[in-house]
Chains A and B, each alone.
Chain A
Amino acid sequence: MRLGYYARLFAVQARASLTTAMQYRADFLVQGLTSLYWLGWNLVPLLVLYDDRATVAGWSFGAALVVMAHFVIVRGILEGAINPSLGAVVEQIRSGAFDYTLLRPADAQFLVSTARFAPWRALDVLGGVGLLIYAFVRLGHAPSPAQLGAGLVLLGAGLAVMYGLWIMIVATAFWVVRMDNLIYLLSSVFDAARWPASVFRGVWKVVFTFVIPLALMTTFPARALLGTVTWQAGIGCLVGALLVSIVARLVWRLALRSYTSASS
């Protein structure tokens, strides 16, 4: 019953986003060109780097491309499914329209997370998949079905981590209005996820492992596809994703409570 209810809600909201996107059909072309542009842009440092070296921190060009492809895919999902909704919430909080969301008899986190999609960003994801295929052609082998399955599961876990972090950032908007800048901050840190995590050392390693677990978002799913991830590490990723999701939910609820006790 509850599940069916939320499935229906999701369908209605997704349809509204699609209808909106259809009104701006020219964006399809613009988005396609932009996707291509950034795809090429992303490759520049990779090409410069591997022009001089065969491997960097044990990663060959092909393997690094697999990580890059994951980055492009995850970034596409982030920009297409997560940022628009959460950006909309921050806007709603500022304009006061968020009050209407709170007065609807459905989970507020669900309502805001599905409020807006940018369907054209699917082109980014498509570009990422293309890059992924190219990377494996270059590597000269295809992932086994088991590796593919593990890769998808870990990709799901990575997306859950990312979504959790973003929810926590949005929750801060209840306390500090105009903190949408924090979303930019996280987006810009996320840019580092285009590189295999093991390339970084020292301070970066600590930050990218414990503060913002970028490795979980792109490197581990990529390694699962490449068949270089252990069972223990895989399970570690899943546990990490679960933990981040739980913490995000708690932070959200806390923020909501403070919103309804302190704002006007």
Chain B
Amino acid sequence: MMRAARALPTLIRVGMVEAIAYRAEMVVWLLTTTMPLVMLGLWTSVADEAPFRAWATRDFVAYYLVALVVRNLTSNWVAWQISEEIRTGAVSGRLLRPIHPFLGYLGTHLGAVPLRAIAVAPVIVIMMWTSARGVLVTDAAHLALVAAAIVGAWLLTFGVFLCLGALGFFLDKAMGIIEVYFGVFAIMSGYLIPLALLPGWVRAIARVLPFRSMLGDPVAIAIGRVPDAGDAARLVALQWAWAIGLLALATWLWRTGVRRYEAFGG
């Protein structure tokens, strides 16, 4: 445990160097998150004609720009990385190291965060110039909760992707699962459309799933849709609970998967 803790700073530093080396790819990956921008274009056109169920143009602008920032800050590609490493057998190398493989992945993807932050900075600057500025929360309690929610969203997303990646131990076509996952995520997290605008029965399903904690809730807190700080704190607590639960699930999936991998040789 102590050795692992000592190794982490080095792992993160290596992750940063990797991120810089692959910066062109990273920029392209960040640019592929165009969905919020397209939806932004669509909804602002609609809301310009007349507000859409109490959502004015500036609400949509704020919602989708903050969603873009949260998504890019908290996303990673560890699921693809793991399933590729399982497919090629490269994962064996990780199993031979004296630290838990998750720490290696953690280092790589934490190391990419500074570069991601630099990449989304322009979005935040642009947002300050638009009508969205007036929508964002400004009081200390909410700002602190937004920060906690972004950290929580990062951990939760990391946990979910670790689970998806570890599925590669059990399934040949884990990538297909990831595609289906993305479809569910996009609707149930509020990435495609704000959860508040979805039909009641969809919202009821979304309420019991972890996806809204990955994106929709942090965004809602940031754009003042959760005015009571107590309510917001409860959402963050729920989010962290999900994060811990999914990281635990990922650890279990990984352990079971590795046992299977060792038995069948992948």
Contacts and interface: CB of A to CB of B under 8 A. Distances in A.
A43 B11 CA distance: 44
Interface residues of B, number: 33
Interface string B31-68: 11111011101101110110011000000000000000
Nearest to B186: A41
Interface stretch (B22-30, B87-95, B151-159): B22-30
A111 B29 CA distance: 29
Contact of B193 (A38, A44, A191, A200): A44
A41 B31 CA distance: 22
A34 B180 contact: yes
B187 A41 contact: yes
Contacts, number: 82
A181 B193 contact: no
Interface in B156-180: 173, 176, 179-180
A61 to B, nearest CB: 14
Nearest to B183: A41
A203 B40 CA distance: 11
B180 A191 contact: no
A48 B193 contact: yes
Across chains A and B, which 4 residue pairs bring their CB atoms closest together, nearest first? A204-B41, A181-B28, A192-B38, A188-B32
23 contacts: A30-B176, A34-B179, A41-B183, A41-B186, A41-B187, A44-B192, A45-B192, A48-B198, A51-B199, A53-B52, A56-B45, A56-B49, A179-B24, A184-B28, A185-B34, A188-B32, A191-B38, A192-B34, A192-B38, A199-B45, A199-B46, A201-B48, A202-B41
A103 interface: no
A75 B234 CA distance: 42
